[in-house]
Structures are given as C-alpha cells and as structure tokens.
Amino acid sequence: MNIHCNVMIIGGEGDLAFRKLYPALYNLDCENLLSESTKIIAFGRGKFSSSEFLEKVYTWIEKSEYTHSIQETTWLRFKERLVPFVGDATNADSYAALKDQLSDQEFVIYLSTPPSIFSPICQALDKAKLVREDTRIVVEKPLGESRSSFDQINNHVRAVFDERQIYRIDHYLGKETVQNLLALRFANVLFEPLWNRNYIDHVQITVAEQVGAGGRWPFYDQAGALRDMVQNHLLQLLCLVSMEPPAKNKPDFVRDEKLKVLRCLKPISAHDVNHVTVRGQYAAGNINQEAVVAYSQEADSATDKSSTESFVAIKAEIENSRWQDVPFYLRTGKRLRERYSEIVIQFKPVVHRLFDASAGRLTDNQLIIRLQPNEGIEMKLVNKVPGLTEQTRLQSVGLDLSFDAVFDEHRSPSAYERLLLDVIRSDQTLFMRSDELRAAWDWVDGIIDGWQSTAQSVSRYSAGSWGPSESVDLLANDRRRWFDYGEQ
C-alpha cells in the first residue's frame, strides 16, 4: 500500500532538484509508488515562472538516463502533483500558506540547500509548527568539512529533529549494485567462508570520473576529492564490503556493523601519510579525443595556486581479525580516462599449484563488482582451454553476471528513486547515522592533518590518464597493480 505522504523540496529550483529529484519522483509515479494524493512542493526563490518551472522539470525528466520515455498520461498526473512555491525558507512566516496543506499530514522535507542555512530553515519549520512526530527530513552532503563542522551542522538539525527523523543521503548507497552487495555476501553460501584474510589478498575500490570540477569549482576547491568522495561514498563502499554480517537486515543492525568497521580503520598518521596516500590534480589533456583544460584554468575563479586534490589514492587498513594485513586500496579522481566505479576483490593464489607456468599466465580469482557503467558482477575463474594438446592450457575467464544480460527488460532505478522511496516508507537502512559520519570524519581529519603538517605535495596528472604515477607506485611498492577499467 502506498503511504500518503507529501514531499517538500527546499531548494526546489536548484540543480540537484531538477537533475535528480524530480526525475526520481516521476519514475516512482510511473511505477505507481506514490499515493494518489501525494503533492510535491517545490520551495524556491521564484527564479522561474510556473510554466518555466514545469518546462524545466519536463526537460530534465526527458534527459534522465533512468527514464524510458515520458508517457503523456503519467506526465499529466505528475504535473498535477507539483506545487511551485515561492518564499524564504529561513522565515517561519513563509510557511503560513502551506500550513493547511501540510500540518495535518505526513511529509518529507528535503533540504537541497547549502548546509550553512540548515539551522535557520529547521528553526523556521519548527516555529511554523510544521514538524510533527512523523515528519522526516533529508539532508544532502557536504555534511561538514571536518568532524567539528559536521558536529555543528548536526547539532542544528538535531535541535529540531530526532535521529530517527533524519535521513542523511549518500547516494552511492542507493545504487542497485551497492545494495546487491549485501545479497551477494549474505544470501550466498559461496563467498562468506572465503571473505577474510585467509583467502583475500587485497581489495580495490575505484570511483573514476571523466567530468572535472566545472561549474562547482569554488565549492570543490574548498573540499577536494578526499572530503567530496572518500569521506562518504568510498568509505561507505568499504564498509559494506568488509562489515560483519548484521544480525538482521534492519537499519540499526546494518549501521552498527558499518560503524564498527569505521572504528577499526587504522589511523593514518603524519609519519605514514606520505607512504600510504597520494594526491593529484589534473593538468590539461585529452578525454575521448577532446582537449580539456587544467583544473587551474577551469573556472573564472580558478588559480594555479590551488593545491586542492582532484585525485586521491589511499592504502587503508582495517585492524580487526577478519582483515588484518589485507590492504583496501581506494582511489578516486576527476578527469580520468574512463567513467567507472568498481570494487575488485582479489583472492590469493591456490596453495599448491598443480599446473606449472607453461600452462598459461594465470590471474588468481577475482570478484569484480561493477557499479557503473554496465552494472553487474563478474567472477574470474581459471579454465582449461578446450582441445587435444598434450599439455593442458589454462586461461582466466570471466563468469559474467551483468544485470542487462541476466535480468530481462529490467530497469535499474536511479539511486535517488530508491532513497526517496525509503524515506517515504521510513526505512533508514541506506542512510548514514551521525556516529558513522563522525567516525568517518575522524579518520579523514587525520589524513588532512598529516597532509598539512608534512606539506605533502600534489602531483599533476594529465587529464585522460589514470592519475599521477605515484598512484601506480603506491601499489607497485606492495608488488601489486591497479586493475584499470576493462584491463583485468
């Protein structure tokens, strides 16, 4: 049964709302997952007239890679739900006209605004008496730039909302393949017995992007790849790969296990930071045969004095009995050769090699979890090459479970569809709890302190490459190498 619940997007004329939120809500409507009476209040500053607003919503739904095609009937139904509303979200009086529509109903408030105004918005909502026991609030990253600024933002939201009402989004957790990680690990008998230091050599987590900082340059320059990507997306992936089985598939059981992992991350001290982390910034180069400019020239406010990292690679270690001495190599960067996100679990070699080297060059077993593009799972196994040759020849072959091949006519919902639906259903499993964020910031703060105290340099890499050469060295020092896209 669909829950009757209104959705109010504060920052309803912003980029995120158009690019992600309206298309996601539209798709939920197509799947008949919104209740008949659900209204979507687009709270904005009045940048657009009603017709311009609707046109923009339509255009972005059409552009969304997750929407098949717009059905006229569904669009008309969806359009009726949209209520553009102009006001100052930090002023309680602005909400007066909405009160009748909202105060006696369940509703979700999505703060798609900078965190600097979370506090006055929450106070205004409270003063306008719009916050009920069952009101949910969704907050978007960046949630702070350090542990202490996170605490500040969090305290402001917590002054009005209980933890059970707060949904902190990390959109990576809404991706299909990320949720599939839990099924893969805990619904198959095959992997769990091998999922530890006895059988796994190391894990690689790569989130590579082709886009640059672009229009977000001023914001990005304050953040850098470590805060923008590692503190949240990559650490959440690391948690799901490495956590212990939760006792139940329920929000706090899952979040408790993730928290334990974060608390077991070996702190990276100033003494180690140069050995286990690499920072890079893109220089000019070519991507898909198109010339792109350097980070330092990408925006009007850009300057070559910036030492912000657009690439980071880290050797992370989890100090517990399951993962002792198993490195987790993390890397993420902008303006890299390909856009892809993958987790590679590299297994150890068989203990006794029955076949000698002349049988073929063997890659030890690998499990590749592909988040994007071509989401799916691939298992690398060693096979005999068919034939009558006297000597057995072996070859590494991929057992490919790409979602497109396995699930007929499936449509992978966007991360925001999953997450918005979960908020409507009051399910916090895929949202971050404040103690998780605090633990993640503690670890990241340690790295930032190390970079500052050692004045670690930022290496340049050409746009369209796989990052600075020091990133290759990071693994080569351990006699390992990165598995770049399509090269395994």
Provide the binding-site residues for ligand BG6, judged by CB under 6 A: 209, 211, 228
Q: Which is nearer to ligand BG6, 96 or 211 (CB)?
A: 211
CB atoms within 10 A of CB 248: 9
CB of 426 to ligand BG6, least distance (A): 24
Q: Which is nearer to ligand BG6, 13 or 375 (CB)?
A: 375
Q: Are residues 433 and 427 in contact, defined by beta-carbon separation less than 8 angstroms?
A: no
CB of 251 to ligand BG6, least distance (A): 22
Q: Which is nearer to ligand BG6, 53 or 220 (CB)?
A: 220
**In the numeric block, which tokens belong to residue 33?**
């997952």
Distance CA 138, CA 186 (A): 29
Distance CA 38, CA 20 (A): 18
Distance CA 241, CA 368 (A): 12
Distances in Å between the alpha carbon of 41 and those of 45, 85, 101, 303, 481? Answer: 13, 7, 10, 40, 50
CB of 228 to ligand BG6, least distance (A): 5
CB of 346 to ligand BG6, least distance (A): 23
Q: Which is nearer to ligand BG6, 87 or 333 (CB)?
A: 333
- Give the DSSP per-residue string, 224-262: HHIIIIIIIIIHHHHHHHHPPPPSSSSHHHHHHHHHHHH
From the list 68, 171, 233, 352, the catalytic residue is 233
Q: Known catalytic residue: 233?
A: yes
Distance CA 255, CA 258 (A): 5
Q: Which is nearer to ligand BG6, 187 or 211 (CB)?
A: 211
Q: Which is nearer to ligand BG6, 227 or 255 (CB)?
A: 227
CB of 216 to ligand BG6, least distance (A): 7
- Number of residue whose CB is nearest ligand BG6: 228
CB of 205 to ligand BG6, least distance (A): 13
Distance CA 471, CA 16 (A): 32
Q: At what angle do helices 72-81 and 50-63 cross, to 10 degrees?
A: 130
Distance CA 259, CA 243 (A): 9
Q: Which is nearer to ligand BG6, 50 or 222 (CB)?
A: 222
* E strand residue ranges, 248-375: 277-283, 285-287, 290-292, 311-316, 328-333, 340-347, 366-372
Tokens 């639906």 belong to which residue? Answer: 421
Q: In this structure, is the dihedral angle defined by the CA atoms of residues 191, 194, 195 and 201, taken in order, positive or negative?
A: negative
CB of 194 to ligand BG6, least distance (A): 29
Q: Are residues 101 and 39 in contact, defined by beta-carbon separation less than 8 angstroms?
A: yes
Q: Which residues are catalytic?
A: 233
